[in-house]
Structure 1
Amino acid sequence: MCPLQSTCGVVTPQGTCGDGFNHNKGGVRAIQLEETQIRMWLFRRKDIPCDITSEKPDLDSSGTPLMNFGPGNCSIASSWKNMKMTFDLNFCGQDDISDWRWQQSKWPQNMTCSEKTNVSTCKEQVEKNPQAFSEAYFLIQYIKVFQMP
C-alpha cells in the first residue's frame, strides 16, 4: 500500500477542466499505468497528437506529462489494480469541510451560503434544488483503452 505521506496533488494549467476546458472544446486525457509509475497527459482539442488520433499511442514522445507518480516509496503494482473508471459530479466535497464552509464562508453580499439559501448544508441545497444543477453534466464523445502488447 501507499503510505499517506506519499500522497500529493497536481496543479494543472488553466483550461484543463471546467469552463476553460469546455471553451477549448475539450480534449484528450491519456493515462499510462505501469508497474512502477502512473503518468497522465492532457491534450487540448487542437493539440491532440497524430499517434493518439490514429489509435497508435506513443506517450513516450508526447512531452512532459501533466502528472507523474512513481517510482518511489509507493508500490504501484500492488496498490493500483482492478481499476474502474468513475465519472463523478461532487457538488459539495468532503462533508465535514463542506458543512463548515457552507455555514461560515461569506458571499459577496456578506452572507453565508446558509443565510443566502435558507438551508443549513450544501447537501440539503443540492437535494432541495436539483434544477439549479441542470447544466452540470459530462459530455463524453468516447473512451478508448489501449493495452501495451
Structure 2
Amino acid sequence: MPQGCGTWPAIWENGDHWPAGGEIDILEGVNDRGANLVTLHTTPGIHTGLDCNTATNGNAGCGAHLTDSNNYGPAFNLNGGGWFAIERTKSFVKVWFWGRSNSSSVPAEVAIGANGINSDNWGLPGAYFPNTNCDIGSHFGPANIIINIDLCGDWAGNPSVYSSSGCPGTCVDLVNHNPGAFSEAFFEIAWIKVYQ
C-alpha cells in the first residue's frame, strides 16, 4: 500500500454522472495517519447517521473507519498486506478487511480468489451501510473501479491535516523538492475479482 507524507491513496467505485451514480471509497486515507476510511458519497437522500450528500459538509460523505489496526498505510505493509472485499446490492453496501497476519480468519474463497463466493460465511463486515432510511439502489448505478494515488490534494495537502500528521514543511514543498520521499508510494495488488 502507498505510504508516506503527502500521499492520498484510494481504491474506489464511481458511477456515471458523479455524484448521481454514487461513489464508494473502499480504501482511503492520507499521510500514514489512522485507519482506512470507507465512505459513501451520493446525491441527497442517504443518511447513515451522517449525510452522504456531496453538497453538504464539504463533501465529507458518510464514512466508517475500519477497526483492524493493520488496514492502512505502514501498519498494513508491516502486516504483509491483506484482503479487502466489498458487496453492493440494492439493499446494502458492506466492506470487509482481513489482515495477512490473521490469515486463518480469511474465508478460503477470498484467500484463493475462488470463482464463486458466499459472503454469508464471512462474518461481520468492517463497514455496513444498510437500506434502513434510504434507497441504496436508486443512488448507486454501474460503476468503474478506480485505483489512484494523489500527492497532496484537498485532504493530504490540507495544511492542518498535513502538519497534524507529523509531516515536514508543506506538502507542495515536499513533492517539489524531495521526490525520494515517495519511494514507497505505490500499490502492489495481486489480483482483483469482480462477481455479479
2:183 to 134, 139, 144: 134
Q: Distance in 1 between matches of 2:182 and 2:171?
A: 13
Q: Which residue of 2 aligns with 1:72?
A: 132
Which secondary structure state, in structure 2, belongs to the residue aligned with residue 22 of structure 1? helix
* Higher strand content, 1 or 2: 2
Partner amino acid, structure 2, of 1:81? G
User: Aligned match of 1:86 in 131, 140, 146?
Assistant: 146
Counterparts of 1:88 and 1:101, CA distance in 2:
20
* 5+ residue gaps, structure 2: 1-42, 53-61
Separation in 1 of the partners of 2:188 and 2:165? 32
Q: Give the structure 1 partner of residue 107 of structure 2.
A: 49
Contact 1:32 1:40 in 2 (8 A): yes
TM-superposed CA distance for 1:49, in Å, is 1.0
TM-score, normalising length: structure 1: 0.74
Using the aligned pairs only, state the percent identity.
29
1 or 2, which has the higher helix percentage?
Answer: 1
For the pair shown, which has the larger CA radius of gyration, 1 or 2?
1
Distance 1:56 1:96, change over 3 A: closer
Q: Which residue of 1 aligns with 2:19?
A: none
Q: Could you say which residue in structure 2 is the equivalent of 1:26? A: 81
Alpha-carbon contact 2:87-2:94 (below 8 Å) kept:
yes
Q: How many residues align?
A: 136
For 2:69 and 2:125, locate their aligned partners in 1 and report how far apart those are by CA, in whole Å. 16
SS in structure 1 at match of 2:143: coil
State the match for 1:36 in structure 2.
91
Map residues 90-105 of structure 1 onto 2, 5 A cutoff: 90-94=150-154, 98-100=158-160
- Structure 1 unaligned regions, length at least 5: 115-120
Q: Deviations over 1:74-94 (max 9, x none)?
A: 322122113121222234352
So what's the TM-score if we normalise by structure 2? Answer: 0.59
Letter in 2 for 1:14: S
